[in-house]
């Protein structure tokens, strides 16, 4: 499933747990509707949307984390596949967009923070940085969050970024994909594309 990656030298990858709105964001970016299941965890292989002439693609990786009705071993395998995919293509991934649910992310992280447990989102954030992939955290569904600044500061804190969040605008991007309000994310992605000397890809963001 993961072997069918188109041969492109430049990629922006969307990662995140199931049900955070990755597919909605993908649709917002590409104008293309992908076949997503009604249940979390239905997308098991990456969705690639590519522009051959530009040698570029956007990839929506399968959701990780808890998925109802999905056995633990399948869940772990999916996570392993995602990690391997990122490791194998790290030199081609110009930016990874880690999508989290603005309303639930901090609670989920806190719920899974134990002595021998690192929450998936935090683990993925640090893993991406470890393999030198610039990461933008797209904090989705912000239209449902009341205490916006407080919530974003808490998220920064959990990710090991020193609050206030506003000093991390190339990393933390509050968005609402369903409402088409994704500018903070596209600005942050453009920043990283610029750093990679790929301003030609701005047209897609």
The total number of residues written for the chain in this structure: 205
Per-residue pLDDT reduced to its tens digit, 55-101: 999 999 998 877 778 888 888 888 899 999 999 999 999 999 999 99
pLDDT for 70 equals 80
- Using DSSP, state whether 186 is helix, strand or coil: helix
Residue 89: how many CB atoms within 10 A of its CB?
Answer: 17
Provide the 8-state DSSP code for 63.
P
- Locus of tokens 């974003």: 152
Mean predicted lDDT score pLDDT of the chain: 90
Going along the chain from its start, the domains and CATH numbers come out as 10-196 (3.40.50.300)
The encoded tokens of residue 172 equal: 């933390």
Nearest to 15 by CA among 50, 76, 58, 62: 62
């Amino acid at each position: 499933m993961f072997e069918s990656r188109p041969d492109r030298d430049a990629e922006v990858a969307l990662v995140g747990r199931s049900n955070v709105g990755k597919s909605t964001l993908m649709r917002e970016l590409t104008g293309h509707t992908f076949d997503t299941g009604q249940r979390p965890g239905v997308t098991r292989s990456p969705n690639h949307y590519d522009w051959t002439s530009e040698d570029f693609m956007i990839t929506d990786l399968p959701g990780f984390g808890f998925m109802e009705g999905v056995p633990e071993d399948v869940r772990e395998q999916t996570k392993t596949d995602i990690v391997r995919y990122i490791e194998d293509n790290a030199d081609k991934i110009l930016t990874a967009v880690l999508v989290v649910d603005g309303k639930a992310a901090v609670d989920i992280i806190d719920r899974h923070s134990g002595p021998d447990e690192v929450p998936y989102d935090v683990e993925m954030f640090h893993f991406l940085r470890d393999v030198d992939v610039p990461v933008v955290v797209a904090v989705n569904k912000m239209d449902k969050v009341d205490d916006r600044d407080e919530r974003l500061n808490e998220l920064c804190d959990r990710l090991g970024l020193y609050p206030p969040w506003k000093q991390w605008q190339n990393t933390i991007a509050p968005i609402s994909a369903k409402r088409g309000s994704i500018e903070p994310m596209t600005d942050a992605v453009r920043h990283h594309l610029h750093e990679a000397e790929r301003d030609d890809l701005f047209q897609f963001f």
